[in-house]
């Protein structure tokens, strides 16, 4: 990577880093509403607007529902639009998530992941964005501040790609990433501007010479066909995410695929995880220096990288999928269910167990992750995954 552009080193927390990326993207409209731990994004961005550093119309909406509704209006009008939220705000947007995707509007939304009420809790888990996993949005999960910044810029390019045209959410762990200051490399403003290019949709509302109708009533004769187009767009998104990642790598030196294998070459026992806890696992693996132990980080949860996951895990003896969200009454958490399904067609499947961890911001330490590898060792030796669902860091008898 010798062609990379000059980059500036900055000390930013995740929320500030996303705000910085948004300043560089310079969207036409940002509509949002404050909610912990996302608030810093809108605060910083408001400062950019107040100081005239962006051309953006900032819509300080009266709710997240309206924030996303305004984003939808802006994107359909022909403007690049972005928003941000967390937890209850995400839940309040839920109705509009589906509509943004159904209208094929490439809105980019930052999500500072936070547990859902009740009881109310302001700390991280993934129950908010996991609840929107079937809404038709692309979901990128960030491990750290650098990734939150990089993913935000790439999200624009991915969502707006002609073969995709889908909204994208860039998730980062609330507080752990949103509020933790890290040293990151920030691209030159012009490089970002050039990378994201101009916003274009085929039928903007503001082209008053062509009367387009957005959001009609599609009855049984048509609804299915329109949904099929969304299904295809998600399939199309996979190669696009990889292309964009490559292109981004060529300017930044940082490239991310759909998944990130870590110490997986010879791994027999693997943990699958998304978000900041992947960093904790990497740190543990560095300390243990054991080729038998590996990590598979999922960066792209939607579209789900089925083949890539199967290819990385098929040689393992035992796999633990860590879910930072419960799926009440299911066989396991949402990541587990899908990873397990991804391995179904493998002739030789690893033993697979699920850990629910970190709910409501419960800390997950390297020691705790070490117990997961120890458990996996037992599972591999006995060949028995019982119990399939386990709970990490829970006070138990």
Closest CA to 30 of 49, 14, 52: 49
Torsion angle defined by CA atoms of residues 320, 325, 326 and 330, in that order, rounded to the nearest 10 degrees: -70
- Total binding residues toward another protein, as defined by CB under 8 A: 58
Interaction between residue 94 and another protein (CB under 8 A): no
Of the listed pieces 94-102, 286-294, 307-315, 358-366, which binds another protein according to CB under 8 A?
94-102
Closest CA to 55 of 198, 185, 156, 177: 198
Interaction between residue 71 and another protein (CB under 8 A): yes
Shortest distance, CB of residue 136 to another protein, whole angstroms?
A: 11
Q: Of 181 and 228, which has the nearer Cβ to another protein? A: 228
H helix runs in 272-388, sequence order: 277-288, 306-313, 334-342, 366-382
Pattern 153-182, another protein, x by CB under 8 A: ------------x-----------------
Taking CB under 8 A as the criterion, the residue among 14, 102, 261, 358 binding another protein is 102
CA distance 95 to 239: 28
Taking CB under 8 A as the criterion, the residue among 22, 70, 124, 240 binding another protein is 70
Contact 363, 330 (CB under 8 A): no
Of the listed pieces 124-132, 227-235, 257-265, 367-375, which binds another protein according to CB under 8 A?
227-235
CA distance 371 to 376: 8
Taking CB under 8 A as the criterion, the residue among 13, 32, 81, 263 binding another protein is 81
Shortest distance, CB of residue 332 to another protein, whole angstroms?
A: 33
Task: Please count the residues of the chain.
Answer: 397
Question: Measured between alpha carbons, how far is residue 317 from residues 112, 281, 293, 312, 381 in Å?
Answer: 34, 19, 11, 12, 9
In the numeric block, which tokens belong to residue 165? 């045209």
Closest CA to 324 of 304, 292, 354: 354
Contact 62, 91 (CB under 8 A): no
Contact 365, 281 (CB under 8 A): no
Interaction between residue 127 and another protein (CB under 8 A): no
Contact 175, 123 (CB under 8 A): yes
Q: Is 384 in a helix, a strand, or coil?
A: coil
Interaction between residue 6 and another protein (CB under 8 A): no
Q: Of 197 and 215, which has the nearer Cβ to another protein? A: 215
Interaction between residue 202 and another protein (CB under 8 A): yes
Interaction between residue 61 and another protein (CB under 8 A): yes
Shortest distance, CB of residue 110 to another protein, whole angstroms?
A: 17
CA distance 119 to 133: 22
Interaction between residue 226 and another protein (CB under 8 A): yes
Pattern 313-352, another protein, x by CB under 8 A: ----------------------------------------
CA distance 333 to 342: 14
Interaction between residue 51 and another protein (CB under 8 A): no
Shortest distance, CB of residue 78 to another protein, whole angstroms?
A: 6
Interaction between residue 9 and another protein (CB under 8 A): no
Shortest distance, CB of residue 76 to another protein, whole angstroms?
A: 6
Interaction between residue 207 and another protein (CB under 8 A): yes
Taking CB under 8 A as the criterion, the residue among 50, 120, 228, 388 binding another protein is 228
Taking CB under 8 A as the criterion, the residue among 96, 153, 156, 196 binding another protein is 96
Sign of the alpha-carbon dihedral angle for 250, 164, 64, 198: positive
Could you list the residues that contact another protein (CB under 8 A)?
28-29, 31, 55-57, 59-63, 65-67, 69-79, 81, 95-96, 99, 102-105, 165, 202-203, 205-208, 210-219, 221-222, 224-226, 228-229, 233
């Amino acid at each position: 990577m010798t062609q990379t552009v000059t980059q500036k080193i900055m000390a930013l927390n995740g929320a500030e880093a996303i705000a910085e990326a948004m300043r560089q993207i310079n969207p036409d409209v940002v509509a949002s509403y404050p909610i912990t731990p996302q608030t810093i994004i809108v605060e910083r961005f408001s400062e950019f607007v107040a100081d005239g550093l962006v051309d953006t119309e900032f819509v300080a909406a009266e709710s997240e529902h309206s924030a996303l509704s305004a984003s939808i209006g802006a994107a359909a009008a022909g403007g690049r639009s972005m928003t941000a939220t967390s937890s209850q705000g995400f839940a309040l947007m839920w109705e509009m998530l589906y509509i943004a995707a159904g209208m094929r509007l490439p809105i980019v939304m930052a999500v500072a992941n936070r547990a859902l009420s009740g009881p109310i809790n302001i700390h991280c888990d993934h129950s908010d964005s996991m609840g929107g996993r079937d809404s038709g949005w692309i979901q990128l999960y960030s491990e750290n501040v650098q990734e939150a910044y990089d993913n935000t810029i790439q999200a624009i390019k991915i969502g707006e790609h002609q073969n995709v045209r889908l909204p994208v959410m860039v998730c980062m762990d609330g507080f752990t990433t949103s509020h933790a200051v890290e040293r990151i490399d920030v691209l030159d403003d012009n490089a970002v501007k050039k990378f994201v290019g101009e916003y274009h949709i085929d039928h903007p509302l503001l082209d008053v010479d062509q009367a387009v109708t957005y959001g009609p009533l599609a009855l049984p004769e048509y609804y299915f066909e329109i949904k099929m187009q969304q299904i295809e767009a998600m399939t199309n998104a996979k190669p696009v995410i990889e292309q964009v990642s490559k292109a981004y790598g060529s300017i930044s030196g940082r490239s991310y695929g759909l998944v990130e294998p870590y110490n997986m070459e010879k791994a027999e026992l693997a943990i699958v995880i998304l978000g900041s806890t992947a960093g904790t696992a990497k740190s543990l693996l560095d300390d243990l220096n054991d080729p038998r132990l590996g990590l598979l980080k999922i960066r792209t949860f939607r579209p789900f990288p089925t083949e890539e996951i199967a290819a990385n895990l098929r040689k393992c003896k035992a796999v633990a999928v860590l879910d930072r969200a419960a799926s009440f009454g299911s066989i396991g958490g949402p990541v587990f269910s899908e990873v397990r399904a991804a391995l179904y067609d493998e002739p030789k499947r690893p033993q697979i167990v699920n850990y629910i961890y970190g709910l409501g911001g419960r800390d997950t330490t390297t020691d705790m992750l070490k117990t997961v590898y120890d458990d996996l060792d037992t599972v591999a030796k006995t060949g028995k995954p019982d119990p399939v669902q386990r709970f990490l860091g829970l006070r138990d008898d």
